[in-house]
Amino acid sequence: MARDMTDGEWRAFLLAGPRTATLGWVADDGRPMTAAVWIDLDDDDVVFQTGGRSAKARAMARDPRVVLLVANDAEPFAFVRIDGEASISDDLDEVRRWAARIGGRYMGAERADEFGSRNGVPGEIVVRVRPSRVVAQTEI
C-alpha cells in the first residue's frame, strides 16, 4: 500500500545516494521534453547544472515552469515529483561551486575538484528549481 512521504523523507530520498532526476519542460514548438540531470538540494531548492545554450536552458529562459522526477526502481519502490519554477545563474563562482559539489556527490569527493574545473566554465549555468508542489510516495 502506497503512502505519502513526509517532507523529511522525500528530502532524504533525493539525497540518498546519487539518484539521477528526470527534468521535464515544454519545447518551443509545444512538445514535452525530458532529460536526465544530476541534482543536489540547497534549502528548498533543487539545484542542477547544464549548458547555457542547451535546449533545456533555452526553454527555461522562455518558460521557467519545470517538473523533476526521481524514482527508485528497486524495492521499496518510491518516487518524488517536484513541480516548480526554475531560475538560472551564469555567475562563474556559483557555477564552479555547484559543479564541484554536484560532481563530488555523484562521482565521489575525491573527484569534486576535477568536475568543478571541467564543468565550472563560462557557458555553463546553475539552475535552481523552487518547488511549488511536491508529490512523494513510497511503498508503492
Mind listing the pLDDT tens digit for each residue in 55-98?
Answer: 999 999 999 999 999 999 888 899 999 999 999 999 999 999 99
pTM of the entire structure? 0.94
Mind listing the pLDDT tens digit for each residue in 24-38?
Answer: 999 989 999 999 999
Q: How far apart are CA 123 and CA 86, in angstroms?
A: 18
- Report in angstroms the alpha-carbon separations of 126 from 7, 28, 38, 111, 114: 24, 21, 11, 19, 17
Model confidence at 137: pLDDT above 90? yes
Written as nine digits, the cell of 61 is 529562459
3-state secondary structure of 81: strand
